[in-house]
Structure 1
Amino acid sequence: MAFNLLLRVHVLLGVLAPEVWTHTTAADFITLDCVPALSLARIYLDAKHFLDKHVRFSAVDQYGRVLEINEALAVQCGYTISTDFRGNIEFRASLISCYSQIVDDKNFTITVQIDVSTTPDMREVSSYVRALSCSYFPWSPREILCETNYMEVSVRREIPGIKDYIQDQPDDWTDVLPEAASVAASIWQVVFHLPSAKRAMLVSEAQNAGYGINTTDSRILLRAPFNASEARETNISGVTFSVVRSSTFYKQRWMILLVDTAVACPVDGIEYINNTIIWSIPKSITPLQAGARYFNDSRVVMGVNFQELTSTDISKRQYNLSDDGKVIAVQIPIGDEGGYFKSHVTKGEYGTTYSINVFFEHQWNDNRWGATKHTIIKEMTTPFKHHPLIITNNTIPSKKLFNVTIGTFLQDTKLVNLTIGSEILTVTDANEQGYNISEMKHPNGSTSYTVTVPFDDPNVKKKHDTGVNRTYTLSITYKFQVIPQNQTFTATAIISCPLPDAVLPDAIGYCDNDHLYLTVTRGNIDEDWIPYISNIQLTMPSQSSGYTLQDNGTSFRVKVPRFSSLVSYESLRSSDLMITLPLDMKDSDGLTKRSFSISCSYSSQDLIACLPNGTVVVTAVKLAGMPDMDPSQFVLRDKNCRPTAATEERATFIFNVDTCGTIRKFDQMAMIYENDVLYFRPGMANPAYQLKCSCWYTINETIVFQYGFENNSAPTIQPGFGPLALVMRVCKDWTYSDFYENTEYPIARYLKDPLYLEVELLYSEDPEIELFLENCWSTASSDPSSSPQWDVVINSCENTKDTHETIFHPVTDNLRIKFSNHVKRFEVKMFTFMHDTNALLGQVYFHCSVVICDSRDRTSDKHCARKCIPDKQRFGRSAEFHYLHGHVSSGAILLVADKTVQDERVTKYKAD
């Protein structure tokens, strides 16, 4: 209830949809009516027009003067102002209010000015003056009205004989006579009966104390606030009443008019039990029946929203009105017709109350007053009831779609915004961004909200569990607002859904003369994973570490020099050094989620140099299998010979063949000098690391003969090998300038068409290596080992024996091909492929095995020295370095006999 009369009205959008302001006037939304049964006049302001506006009420007297109604004036003069849950405003006035124009105590006119503004300071006010006339007759000798903010009693004004009052109870009247007899004539006064004394006040003094005192032609009225200083709380049959006992009198020359103006109204008596409101009202209210020797009921009635209910109405609404002789009880089921639920927020929690406006009228007759009408208006509101928010998970894993519903809420609660992940969005913004926020209306008037979010949304967290399982997690924080109070509260829903759809990142690596390469293809779980090499985060290329990082979003490639500090040396064998490039993928917590590596073997010739002047330069490297190894503590056989230079990864020795304990041996064709690089752990006599190095000197020639381990007690790590990166392309014509894309397979070809194929070694930057076709063949399925097979290239030579003749084509450097020796081209004449005695029609695939040869070494090799391969040395021995062999296959090629068949088969295979 608002008494400063500056009411800001908020309306439930969607409950009361406002019309266009320019098409309406306030007059269309101001309703006036009379409530004669309660001796009230009422003005109703529809919230549709007063949405989010400020309203002020003023009383207009008979001279046209305007008096703003504040809280004190409302109580003193008989006005009540309230706002319901939709924002509608109700103004009620007692028919005998201060500025009511009264004719014959039958007709009453109340004039009110209503000021409306869009600002709190009430600038640019629109004013509406409304006069409401109501009739009320006859009056009971005594009428008592208990409004929600004041108590009012009006009694019939008579001129009784003084002796009649002397015969009443002495406590009521005898002590009042001295005050009445001693005052001057023609002066109204009020004497308040207090427990220990009497307190007399002039009418002006009583009005200054907040009382309303008025007289009409036939009646005297006293109006008091519930908390008046002269009011006393009195327990009557278990119900607390606010009671003001007073006598009002008027003295003339020949008589004294003395009237009992006691008033009593209940301040409690309401209980909420088992979802029922129980209102108890005593039948006998002692302060109102002083001096009466008997009384009997004449009328008991109740009503809702100022409408009287018949016994049929009470039964239909499942109300109950009972009388046990002492107390009348009104029972109203919570939630039934006539009341309404309202949302509230208490300590951040959502809940509801139920409110209903009930009045109760009790009339009785006694031997003193004759008839008394006692009316009580009660706006009942149940205590706050917390409602736990129900979140329903209707997520559809098969569609990878979160579907979350929250509710239900009353119509006065609206969703303001959502925090999805870390992003705060209004409902409109969320829908525009691709989220689907829908409001659902239920038959009982309540509302719930559904939010749908796809799994691949950036605000959905994705976590890899184990294997192919990962969990999608959606976090939504809802912000709601309760109107018109504008209270807010939040609720959070966290929904998780595991799915077996994880694609782990994969890697492929290769090496050239100077660098090691790792290409990592991202999966769908490593969005936040960070690549590390040797605990160094790879972000931008580092000059100190010398690596290069290229990232296109779906994959990234790391290029590291083979002598970088980022690589590790796994083992030394007779003539080879194994170098490994490790790469770890770590999450935001620094936990390693995936590890990759590429290991390559390089000649030890790079680590030892035997100079013609007898100087030996040896570089000894730290092994990954011995993390405690300190290269600065390496020594030669003569332990006084220490490294010339040392880092954390390697040590360099420079010495002459006749120093540092070097041993000389003789062979038939050479002198051999041998020494050892040793590492001793502190306190140990036997070396943990022993690296033998030898230099052979022949006439006019120095060569490296041996460089490897002997009896190495340190642990060793097995190297890993990666496949060659190869591709086979199908060219559209003999120019080899235009190739078929992956989406164009299967490729249709007539049986007699030529087919142009190209095989390329990818990524390598080494101009000294060359790719050779070892064998090429065709199969009817994508499995290279399937049968039947048709030879295309046999032992590195064209197949010229069969009808499908093979022709090699030369390759030259151009803008696309940097190294022509990394590419081979051949043409196949697509004559009939026979299976048994039938010509093959349908899909065929081409496959090739390849070898890599080194053009710098012309020593004989059984693979690279064949007739059809120039006299060049393959890079390494095929028996030991299986990763220098490779296999590659083409996509499907569709053999057809004529164009009609071609169109039909292409359509069928592409549909499949």
Structure 2
Amino acid sequence: MTIPCTMKVRAIKIILCILLLCATLSTPTPVPVGTFRSECHERHFWLFVRSGFLGIMSRFDVQDHQGVHFLSGRKATECGYTMLFNPHGDLVFRASFLACHVNNQGDSEFRLKVWLVTRQVNGRDLGYPFLLHCSAQWPWGFRELVCEESYMEVSINGPVPAALHSGQEKKEVGKSGMMFHRPGHTKEEVRPRTMTEASALGYHISESGSRIILRCPYSSPLSYTIKEKGVELEVVNATILYPHQGKVLAIDATVACSMNEATVDGTHLLWPVPHVLSPLVHGRFRDRGMRIGVETLALSESVIKDRGYEINLRDGVVEVSVPFGAEGTHIKSGVLEGQYSQSLSVDLFYMHQWEDDRWPLTQHRSFRFLKTAYVPRTPILTDNTISSQKLFSVSLGVFPPDVSLHNVTGGREGDALSWVQVPYPNGSHSYQLHAPFSHSSVLQKYIDGGYRRYTLPLTFSLTISPHGEVFYHNATIVSDVQEQTAPEPPRLEGKCTERGLLVLLHYGALERSWELFIGDRRLDWELVEMGGFTVETEEDYFSVEIPLYSPDMTYEEVSLQGVVGRLEVSVVDIDTLKVENSLIHRCTFRVRELLVCLPEGRMVVVTDTSRTIPPTQPKHTTLLDPSCVPQETDSVRALFNFSMDSCGTIATVEGDFLVYENQVLFPKELITTDDPPSHRDSPYRLTIQCRYPAIDTGIVSIEHPVHPTFALSPMLPLKHTQREASRSGQYVAVVCVAIVVMGALIAATLKMLCCPIKITCTRKVLMVKQFIVYPTRGKCLN
């Protein structure tokens, strides 16, 4: 038998192609069960390949009686193939029953041989063959349209009987032409184009069984867009010029697809599509129903309801609504401006069929991988705390698989807490955390009504794979538990020290915030610096020592027995402003020498006359006015209490100060029997001064000698000088006292002196922030 030359060449090409494929592909190793999955859905073959099986590069080839064909991107679009990755990372292969190289048997049985070729790390290719077989599940419509991911397709029940020889079919198609119509085109522009011209523009015409197919990519040169009910449509208005029985038939091959993306309405994905696609409807429109599916699964009305999906018709627009997290959807996590966010995606199938005056039945199918923008989502925190068991129980989530919890910290110090992950059948998960009320991270305080409040501040640190984005979720869990007995309130205690008065604040059992008041002034750093206070914290109490010379000390009595200082202290609850406890404490401070300048213009002086040789008798001393004698004396000291405008006091002005000066004198007792006369006592003179700012005399000052009976630090040192006044051995003691500066100047000085103080402790601590007291159990606060 002689084979024509053209047939020889064709046969050689087929043999070489098969040999080349076999030579380049290695024998595949056994494949794990579940790696591949094939299904038939509507008018398409489906093949799924698990992501873990794919090599560094994968492709699909198809094989028919003519050989093996490589599916490039362009060829896949022209021939009706779709390849994409789903949200799980699996490779999805989808082929139309009317695609090139499909064996169509009477428009009812369809077979396709596919090769999956994967390139391994070592550079070798492995080929896996699949023979896909599907039957038509639904009767064919007279016209069927498909809106795929990368192409548009229309197929029409052609005028050529299905029994016609395939060679004759190809011959007829080869003689076909096309015309395209666009808004605004003139008759001259709407000219017939040959199949070669149309193919060069991306419009591919073929026949399969009894159907004529036009397929083209989106945004093709002769397409245009319109708005239909606010939804953008891409339209190709085409006419196929089909020769048949000596005539040329004009077949309407117009195709239109919705181009809009999904939007978000609260917790739902929305996808609208016009109910009537006007470029495809002629005459009276008669709806014949619609259905939806997810991937290869068609959803019945009951399944749609169970999953929470909705299909609504409003104002001529069909709106498909899919809730976040519904079965069949995929959630991808992200971080948007520091906040946890989610994007919902669904591989949606939508089919609508109708009749009109031109077409007995039109079926319109859309395959859309819909994806929303990232929408901020606040993680759901559920409080399952069991107060009766004094146990915090908290759950966070549900989260998709790409979210993982890194750590959980609690309390002000950020103690790490343990948690457990709770998985769910759909791949999502949540996190649970348990902590007893006695945990160191739990804050406690007593509130009104006999309740104790337990508070657990939480910070969740979570990461998102695969890029490691981090986000945080803060929450505070509160539980109030009624106490059996009222806790001990805070208690103030006063003690006398050598320096002044010591106030102890015992925390008691109350875990709440207080402020300490000295008189009517809140204890803060300015007051501490101005008054020279000493602040300390211990395990169970907080202490502050107020010196005798502090401006907040009240002097009730000055006598030879000492100075009686009084201090009023109170503890005030910050939240309620209720005085929790108060204290009035008095201390008597023994002094040997003392000068007090009172704001009402009086001086109180205690002087020691025992330092002269021989000692001076205190009861015989006077002021400049000899009539001003001591108010009180003992064996070595004399006390004077007098007004500054009496007793011979001399007032002068020195700069911005008023200076009041007087002297304590001891008159000489002369012995006249001697010649010349002599005296038995040593002369004694003590100069005393009070200096007041000229614009403010409302200030109290106490001054002490350099070596008093107890250690004090006066504002300005008292000066004692000794000198020989004459050869007769006269002793003169001079006291020069510079009295306090103005309150405003003190405040200004304290602002420069104020500095932070770090306090450390063991079990209970004191956080000092304007001396607000926060006693807590566990750790120190900053």
TM-score by length of 1: 0.46
Provide the residue aligned with 2:113 in structure 1. 109
For each residue in 1:27-52, what CA deviation from the matched residue of structure 2 results, as whole angstroms up to 9, or x when unmatched?
A: 544324252751x22221336x37xx
- Give distance in 2, aligned partners of 1:672 and 1:238: 105
Residue 57 of structure 1 contacts residue 68 of structure 1 at CA under 8 Å; is this kept in 2?
no
Distance 1:457 1:60, change over 3 A: same
Distance 1:54 1:212, change over 3 A: farther
Provide the residue aligned with 1:576 in structure 2. 562
Question: Aligned to 2:40, which of 35, 38, 41?
Answer: 35
Stretch moving more, 262-271 or 310-319: 310-319
Specify the code of the residue in structure 1 equivalent to 2:81. Y
Which residues of 2 match residues 243-254 of structure 1 at below 5 A?
Answer: 243-248=235-240
Provide the residue aligned with 1:657 in structure 2. 621
Q: CA deviation at 1:516?
A: 5.7
For each residue in 1:618-677, what CA deviation from the matched residue of structure 2 results, as whole angstroms up to 9, or x when unmatched?
A: x1236xxxxxx459x65589xxx99xxxxxxxxxxx99935422438899x999987434
- Work out whether 1:225 is the aligned partner of 2:217: yes
Name the structure, 1 or 2, with higher relative contact order (CA <8 Å, separation 6+): 2
- Give distance in 2, aligned partners of 1:513 and 1:301: 94
Provide the residue aligned with 1:131 in structure 2. 129
Distance 1:281 1:256, change over 3 A: same
Specify the code of the residue in structure 2 equivalent to 1:376. R
- Work out whether 1:601 is the aligned partner of 2:588: yes
Distance 1:206 1:505, change over 3 A: farther
Provide the residue aligned with 2:740 in structure 1. none
Distance 1:483 1:86, change over 3 A: farther
Which residues of 2 match residues 650-799 of structure 1 at below 5 A?
Answer: 657=621, 659-663=623-627, 675-678=640-643
For each residue in 1:580-623, what CA deviation from the matched residue of structure 2 results, as whole angstroms up to 9, or x when unmatched?
A: 5777889999x99876675332445x23xxxxxxxxxxx1236x
Specify the code of the residue in structure 2 equivalent to 1:657. T
Provide the residue aligned with 2:419 in structure 1. 437
Specify the code of the residue in structure 2 equivalent to 1:191. M
Distance 1:488 1:255, change over 3 A: farther
Q: CA deviation at 1:190?
A: 3.5
Distance 1:245 1:129, change over 3 A: farther
- Give distance in 1, aligned partners of 2:561 and 2:310: 106
- Give distance in 2, aligned partners of 1:380 and 1:103: 28
Specify the code of the residue in structure 1 equivalent to 2:117. Q
- Give distance in 1, aligned partners of 2:627 and 2:474: 80
Q: Secondary structure at the match of 1:661?
A: coil
Specify the code of the residue in structure 2 equivalent to 1:601. T
Q: CA deviation at 1:151?
A: 1.7
Distance 1:104 1:230, change over 3 A: same
Residue 190 of structure 1 contacts residue 206 of structure 1 at CA under 8 Å; is this kept in 2?
yes
- Give distance in 2, aligned partners of 1:657 and 1:309: 116
- Give distance in 1, aligned partners of 2:352 and 2:399: 36
- Give distance in 2, aligned partners of 1:529 and 1:294: 78
- Give distance in 2, aligned partners of 1:359 and 1:374: 10
Distance 1:463 1:696, change over 3 A: farther
For each residue in 1:316-346, what CA deviation from the matched residue of structure 2 results, as whole angstroms up to 9, or x when unmatched?
A: 99999999xxx99999997999744757789
Question: Aligned to 1:193, which of 148, 157, 181?
Answer: 181
Which residues of 2 match residues 333-732 of structure 1 at below 5 A?
Answer: 339-340=328-329, 342=331, 355=346, 357-358=348-349, 360=351, 374=363, 376-379=365-368, 391-397=381-387, 400-406=390-396, 415=405, 418=408, 420-421=410-411, 433=416, 435-439=417-421, 449-455=431-437, 457=439, 459-461=441-443, 471-478=453-460, 492-497=474-479, 503-506=488-491, 508-511=493-496, 521-523=506-508, 552-555=538-541, 569-573=555-559, 575-579=561-565, 599-604=586-591, 606-607=592-593, 619-621=594-596, 629=598, 635=603, 657=621, 659-663=623-627, 675-678=640-643
Provide the residue aligned with 2:61 in structure 1. 60
Distance 1:693 1:83, change over 3 A: farther
Distance 1:228 1:656, change over 3 A: farther
Q: Secondary structure at the match of 1:571?
A: strand
Residue 570 of structure 1 contacts residue 578 of structure 1 at CA under 8 Å; is this kept in 2?
yes
Provide the residue aligned with 1:94 in structure 2. 96
Q: CA deviation at 1:262?
A: 0.7
- Give distance in 1, aligned partners of 2:386 and 2:129: 63
- Structure 1 gap ranges (5+): 1-23, 117-122, 161-184, 425-429, 608-618, 623-628, 643-653, 682-688, 703-713, 716-765, 767-912
For each residue in 1:690-728, what CA deviation from the matched residue of structure 2 results, as whole angstroms up to 9, or x when unmatched?
A: x999999999999xxxxxxxxxxx99xxxxxxxxxxxxx
Which residues of 2 match residues 725-874 of structure 1 at below 5 A?
Answer: none
Specify the code of the residue in structure 2 equivalent to 1:599. R
Residue 629 of structure 2 contacts residue 640 of structure 2 at CA under 8 Å; is this kept in 1?
no
Distance 1:337 1:578, change over 3 A: closer
Distance 1:81 1:692, change over 3 A: farther
Provide the residue aligned with 2:693 in structure 1. none
- Give distance in 2, aligned partners of 1:191 and 1:586: 91
Distance 1:516 1:144, change over 3 A: closer
Provide the residue aligned with 2:154 in structure 1. 153
Distance 1:600 1:465, change over 3 A: same
- Give distance in 1, aligned partners of 2:501 and 2:311: 94
Residue 492 of structure 2 contacts residue 582 of structure 2 at CA under 8 Å; is this kept in 1?
no
Specify the code of the residue in structure 1 equivalent to 2:255. A
Residue 440 of structure 1 contacts residue 447 of structure 1 at CA under 8 Å; is this kept in 2?
yes
Q: CA deviation at 1:81?
A: 4.2
TM-score by length of 2: 0.52
- Give distance in 2, aligned partners of 1:569 and 1:507: 21
Distance 1:663 1:96, change over 3 A: same
- Give distance in 2, aligned partners of 1:676 and 1:25: 113
Q: Secondary structure at the match of 2:215?
A: strand
- Give distance in 2, aligned partners of 1:84 and 1:26: 21
For each residue in 1:550-577, what CA deviation from the matched residue of structure 2 results, as whole angstroms up to 9, or x when unmatched?
A: 6553346667876789976442256332
Q: Secondary structure at the match of 2:419?
A: strand
- Give distance in 2, aligned partners of 1:635 and 1:322: 96
Q: CA deviation at 1:92?
A: 1.1
Q: CA deviation at 1:150?
A: 2.4
Residue 61 of structure 2 contacts residue 71 of structure 2 at CA under 8 Å; is this kept in 1?
yes
RMSD: 7.2
Specify the code of the residue in structure 2 equivalent to 1:93. A
Residue 507 of structure 1 contacts residue 518 of structure 1 at CA under 8 Å; is this kept in 2?
yes
Specify the code of the residue in structure 2 equivalent to 1:660. L
Provide the residue aligned with 2:258 in structure 1. 267
Distance 1:456 1:585, change over 3 A: farther
Q: CA deviation at 1:475?
A: 3.4
- Give distance in 2, aligned partners of 1:308 and 1:508: 80
Percent identity over the alignment is 20
Residue 110 of structure 1 contacts residue 131 of structure 1 at CA under 8 Å; is this kept in 2?
yes
For each residue in 1:229-278, what CA deviation from the matched residue of structure 2 results, as whole angstroms up to 9, or x when unmatched?
A: 433557999998644232446999x9787673614345289999999999
